[in-house]
Amino acid sequence: MTGGERLSKLLAAAGIGSRRAVDALIAAGRVSVDGRPAVLGERVDPARVQISVDGRPVELVPAAPVYLALHKPPGVTATVRDRFAARTVLDLVPPALAAGRRLFPVGRLDRDSEGLLLLTNDGAWAERVLHPRFGVEREYAVAVERRLGPAELERLRVGVPLAEGLARAVRIRPATPAETRRLLRLVGPGPGATEGGTWYRVVLGSGWKRQLRRMFAAVGVPVRRLVRVRMGPLELGNLPPGAVRALRAAEVAALATGSATTAGRTGRPQPTGSAAATDRARRAPSGGVPSPAWTPPRRVPPRRAGRSSSPKG
C-alpha cells in the first residue's frame, strides 16, 4: 500500500530492534502481516493489520523507553535469544531495570569480548547510535602478544579489506601504563595480562562482526583480549563486570546526537567526561554556551590611513 507507515519504523518503535535489525528480520521471513510474509519497505496501517514476529503478535503501542549500560563479561552472549548460549546479556539485567520491556543490545560485542554494551527498547535511538553517519565512535582496549611494527600500524590505519568493505582504525596508539593498570583493576587478570603482552587503544567508526579481531588477524597479530571502553561520549568507567545501570537523560541525548571525539587527530588522549566539559567551556565564546562548532574569529588587520580600499584602475 502507498499510505500507512513503514513497517520497519513501527517495529523499531515497538522495541523489536533497530531499523536495520528489523529489516534483517523481514528479509529472513520472520515478520508477517495478516499471516503473509512481510516485504522490505512495506507500508501498513497499524489499525487495520495484525503484525507478528516469529509467529507472535506484536503490540505496536510504543513502550516507555529504557536505556541501560552494561559491562559484559567474557563468555556471555550479546543477543536477545540463542538456544546454544548458556547466558545472554538479558540474563544480567535486573527485572527492576528492564521494567517489563523488550530490550535488545545496541550493536555487537562477540562472546569472547567484554566491556561496555548498551541495551534499549528504542529502535530509533539505537539506529542513531549505530549508523556511521552519526559519528558515534567505539573505543577498545586490545591486548596482543607483541608490539606492532610501523608497517602493521599503518596498514590498520589505512584499512584492511573485509567482506563488508575497508575496515580501518580511526585512531590506534599504545595504551599508557596508567590506562592499563586502571583497566586491569576493573576487569581482572586474563590472557591479555600475561608477561610480554601489549595493550593498544583503538577507535573504530563502525561495528562489523568481530571487526577488530579480523583486522588484527589480517596483519598477523591475533587479539588476546578485547575490552570496549567507550561508545561516543559514554565511558565504561568503574562499572564492574556483569553490572548494569540506567543511563542518565544527558547521556541518552549525547549518544543520540552523535559524539565529538575524545582524542585529537594525533591520537594523544584528550580530556573526557567532566574534564572535557570544562575544556569546552574554557574554549567557548565568553558568556555563551559552549559550541562544538565554534572557532575563534579571524583577526582582520586595521586599515591604514590614506590607503584606498578600491581596486586599482
CATH number, residue 45? 3.10.290.10
Known catalytic membership, residue 34:
no
Residues 155 and 29 occupy one common structural domain: no
Domain that holds residue 141: 67-253
Residues 160 and 232 occupy one common structural domain: yes
Q: Answer whether 282's CB lies under 8 Å from 274's CB.
A: no
Asked if residue 277 is part of any domain, the answer here is no
Residues 50 and 198 occupy one common structural domain: no
Asked if residue 46 is part of any domain, the answer here is yes
> Could you say which residues of the chain have pLDDT below 70?
1-3, 61-62, 81-85, 190-196, 258-313
Asked if residue 258 is part of any domain, the answer here is no
- Can you give the three-state secondary structure of 264-279, one letter per residue? CCCCCECCCHHHHHHH
Burial class (CB in 10 A: 0-12, 13-18, 19+), 111: middle
User: Rounded to an integer, what distance in angstroms lies between the CA atom of residue 90 and that of residue 97?
Assistant: 11
What is the model's pLDDT at position 275? Answer: 39
CATH of the domain at 135: 3.30.2350.10
**Cell 529472513 belongs to which residue?**
28
pTM of the model: 0.69
Q: pLDDT tens, 203-230?
A: 998 888 899 999 999 999 999 999 999 9
User: Rounded to an integer, what distance in angstroms lies between the CA atom of residue 267 and that of residue 203?
Assistant: 10
Q: How many CB atoms lie within 10 A of CB 172?
A: 21
- Structural domain ending residue among the three candidates 201, 226, 253: 253
What is the model's pLDDT at position 1? Answer: 52
Q: Which three cell numbers stand for residue 252?
A: 541518552
Distance of CA 165 to CAs 48, 110, 159, 206, 219, Å?
A: 41, 19, 9, 11, 16
Residue of 82, 110, 122, 279 marked catalytic: 110
What is the model's pLDDT at position 83? Answer: 63
What is the model's pLDDT at position 190? Answer: 66
Residues 18 and 128 occupy one common structural domain: no
Instruction: Provide the domain count of the chain.
Output: 2
The amino acid at residue 48 is R
Residues 10 and 154 occupy one common structural domain: no
Asked if residue 304 is part of any domain, the answer here is no
Residues 16 and 118 occupy one common structural domain: no
What is the model's pLDDT at position 46? Answer: 81
Asked if residue 308 is part of any domain, the answer here is no
Residues 133 and 228 occupy one common structural domain: yes
Residues 87 and 236 occupy one common structural domain: yes
Residues 45 and 87 occupy one common structural domain: no
DSSP designation for 241: T
Residues 42 and 135 occupy one common structural domain: no
Residues 24 and 124 occupy one common structural domain: no
Residues 22 and 136 occupy one common structural domain: no
What is the model's pLDDT at position 279? Answer: 40
